Amino acid sequence: MSCERILPLLPLLALDADDSDETRAARGHVNECERCSAALRELESTRADLDAFTVADSPATDAAEIRAAFVPGHASVAPAGRGRLRWLWKAAAAALVVGATAGFAWTHGSVTLERGTATLRVAWGANERAPGSALDEREDSIEPEAVATVLVELERRVDQLERRHERDLLLLAQTVDRQQESRERGVSQRIDSLEEATHDGFLFTNSVLDGVARRLAKPVDATGAVAPANPENQANH
């Protein structure tokens, strides 16, 4: 491995942050190359300087106070944006359930008032005028069981609506999550490719600059052409 290939790997060696074959090979080169060895020592010294970034003492956190703040799991730690979205959907679902309940009551409504032995029933909507319906036939002899039946039916319908909307909300949340994950993955891949491209660009620039530096270091004859290299120097180099 050449020094030019080793240099970008030296920070990872100094941080001991990579154990790939390439880094192991780089370490082997560093052990034999004085220039790379000096560069690595310098980076290790820089890393050691970081220890000067000390943190002042501070009173410890009172764990009991944290525990007293609230019951664990009482609220989710979802990001604020998604939390707001869920609340919006919950509000919309609640409005829908109330609307459906009101609609059902409008077409099937009846109210029963009881005072001791006297009972008064007021019915409206479709059931009131449905000829021959059970409620209509018993209009004058009101029975609490009929009201109970209506209420049970009402509750069943509301339960159905709630379950359906919960399912819809769950599907919607899953879809939003999937879309967000997909978007994040795409952005992350794009950043990676950009970073790789940038890194390659730096390596190329470094090699060009090194070439220019070497060229400038060579002697130039009167016509401006670079003099042929001294074979002895080349061999030493």
Partner 1 sequence: MRIDLAQATRLATLARDGDADAFDALVAACDRVVLELAERLLLDHHEAEDVRQLAWLKAWRALPQFDARASFPTWLYRIVVNACRDRTRARQRAAQHAGPMRALPLALAAAQRGPAADLERDELRQRVVAAVEALPAEEREAVVLRHFHDLNASEIAEVVGRPRTTVQSCLARALARLNFRLKPHAGAPAFSDPVTRTP
Answer yes or no whether residue 66 interacts with partner 1 by CB under 8 A: yes
Answer yes or no whether residue 81 interacts with partner 1 by CB under 8 A: no
Answer yes or no whether residue 12 interacts with partner 1 by CB under 8 A: yes
- Cβ burial of 13 (10 Å; 0-12, 13-18, 19+) is buried
Nearest residue (CB) to partner 1, 36 versus 147: 36
Answer yes or no whether residue 18 interacts with partner 1 by CB under 8 A: yes
Cβ–Cβ < 8 Å for 162, 154: no
Q: Which stretch binds partner 1 (CB under 8 A): 24-32, 49-57, 87-95, 157-165?
A: 49-57
Answer yes or no whether residue 113 interacts with partner 1 by CB under 8 A: no
Nearest residue (CB) to partner 1, 175 versus 206: 206
Give phi and psi for 70, each to the nearest 5.
-170, 170
Least Å distance between CB 86 and partner 1?
16
C-alpha dist (Å) from residue 122 to 2, 5, 132, 144: 97, 91, 17, 13
Q: Which stretch binds partner 1 (CB under 8 A): 66-74, 109-117, 214-222, 228-236?
A: 66-74
Cα–Cα distance, 9 to 36 (Å, whole number)? 10
Answer yes or no whether residue 197 interacts with partner 1 by CB under 8 A: no
Cα–Cα distance, 126 to 104 (Å, whole number)? 10
DSSP designation for 129: H
- Among candidate residues 213, 95, 214, the one with its CA nearest the CA of residue 161: 95
Answer yes or no whether residue 201 interacts with partner 1 by CB under 8 A: no
Nearest residue (CB) to partner 1, 151 versus 212: 212
C-alpha dist (Å) from residue 156 to 96, 97, 112: 16, 12, 20
For tokens 């209009």, the residue is: 139
Q: What is the 3-state secondary structure (H, E, C) of 133-199?
A: CHHHHCCCCCCHHHHHHHHHHHHHHHHHHHHHHHHHHHHHHHHHHHHHHHHHHHHHHHHHHHHHHHH
Answer yes or no whether residue 38 interacts with partner 1 by CB under 8 A: yes
Answer yes or no whether residue 173 interacts with partner 1 by CB under 8 A: no
Nearest residue (CB) to partner 1, 35 versus 178: 35
Site string for partner 1, 91-110 (x = CB under 8 A): --------------------
Helices first, then strands: H and E counts in the chain: 10, 2
Residue count, binding to partner 1 (CB under 8 A)? 50
Which residues would be at the binding site for partner 1 (CB under 8 A)?
A: 7-12, 14-15, 17-18, 35, 38-39, 42-43, 45-47, 49-50, 52-58, 60-61, 63-64, 66-67, 69-70, 72-75, 77, 188, 191-192, 195-196, 199, 202, 205-206, 209
